[in-house]
Chain A
Amino acid sequence: DAGVTQSPTHLIKTRGQQVTLRCSPKSGHDTVSWYQQALGQGPQFIFQYYEEEERQRGNFPDRFSGHQFPNYSSELNVNALLLGDSALYLCASRKDLGTEAFFGQGTRLTVV
């Protein structure tokens, strides 16, 4: 069992560009959530996908969008990147609501 895998691990982008981050959930998990973690802060909830639909959304602008595929994998897209988008982006998967969430190692995004 590979656990939750994210790609890429590191990324450098320029302001105004667009980025796509990818996540494969742990085997048997169907719910995927994305988090943004700035340095020295706790993870901030971006959104959650279940059955290929966005079910919950945190306080993030529309520049942040996502998708979940039939195999439960997910993408996070960020348009018009700002310097403030620089952070560790974490993907977490769960099997059932209320159970333990497993995290991927994250994608460290740097916007210059």
Chain B
Amino acid sequence: RKEVEQDPGPFNVPEGATVAFNCTYSNSASQSFFWYRQDCRKEPKLLMSVYSSGNEDGRFTAQLNRASQYISLLIRDSKLSDSATYLCVVNSLSGGYNKLIFGAGTRLAVHP
């Protein structure tokens, strides 16, 4: 089983739609969680951190359920510019050190 699993998509949605991405992780010792965005042939960039209480940044809402080891990202009012791959990232503790583990990513395509 992969440490971080995501639905690869692609999600094809019209502008203005609401879309939700899910992610599960296997290491219960994981300490922090992130969503990164990666545009085609570019490096990943942090979209937002994910907190236990849930957090919102404009049209983006992230949720964490530690009991279920589940992370979600909700995008409201999708824009064409939201088209990208969204990477679920878990900061796992092993041997006293942390490392970031990436999911395979979920591709989003927003069309007019």
A→B interface (CB under 8 Å): 33, 35, 41-45, 48, 50, 55-56, 58, 88, 90, 92, 97-98, 100-106
Q: Is B26 an interface residue (CB 8 A)?
A: no
With contact pairs A90-B43, A98-B31, A98-B91 given, residues A45 and B104 touching in the complex (Cβ less than 8 Å): no
Tell whether, in the assembled complex, residue B97 and residue A42 are in contact, meaning their CB atoms are under 8 Å apart: no
The answer to whether B97 touches A56, judged by C-beta atoms less than 8 angstroms apart, is: yes
What band does the interface of chain B fall in when counting residues whose beta carbon is under 8 Å from A? 20 to 34
Contact A42 B102 (CB under 8 A): yes
Q: Is the CB of A98 within 8 A of B32?
A: yes
Instruction: State the CA gap A90–B100 with chains docked (Å).
Output: 13
Q: Which of B43, B46, B97 has the most CB of A within 10 A?
A: B43
Given A42-B87, A103-B44, A105-B42, also A97-B102 (CB < 8 A): no
Measured CB to CB, the residues of B under 8 A from A are: 4, 6, 31-32, 34, 41-46, 49, 87, 91, 94-95, 97-105
How far in angstroms is the closest Cβ of chain B from A44?
A: 8
Residues of B within 8 A of A45 (CB): 99-102
CB of A73, distance to nearest CB on chain B (Å): 17
User: Which residues of the other chain, A, contact B42 by a CB distance below 8 angstroms?
Assistant: 105
A55 and B100 contacting across the interface, CB-CB below 8 Å: no
